[in-house]
Amino acid sequence: MRYSQAELHGLLHNAEVIGRGAFGTVYKCSDGLRDYAVKLTSDERSYQREVTALGTLHHRNIVSLHGHGHYSAGEHALVYEFCVEGSLGSAIRDRRLTPSMGLEILKGAASALACAHARGYLHGDLKPGNILLDKNFSPKVSR
């Protein structure tokens, strides 16, 4: 789905920063019905690559891209599902996982990567901070 600039500004109106990386800044946003993670980036090439990849990759363990759009001069937005349990990295640091949960997370992440590789995509930056966890601690591979 293509978001208009006005829709993106509305989503980001009361947003809070939840992450920063080489590719951009990620905000937690809400439209009143659900929460989203919105990544703002000025990297046009990475933005286009992400839109193309997530537009074709659909897997239960790959983060869902709800939409994207032009946010402001030179800045683009990617609107993702929000993963309430944060990253695998934070779950490890906070000791919120049992060994069996860790095994299931690794299996799910491996399945997501196998799906991406079968379609010709290489992640290139897999780390605990790029594996997000939903409310059931199911992994969602992101970039």
| Active centre residues (catalytic) | 125
Instruction: Provide the CB-side half-sphere exposure for 68 (13 A, CA).
Output: 19
Task: Tell me the CA distances in angstroms from 76 to 15, 43, 80, 81, 142, one per residue in order.
Answer: 16, 8, 13, 17, 17
Q: Which two tokens stand for residue 84?
A: 């309430």
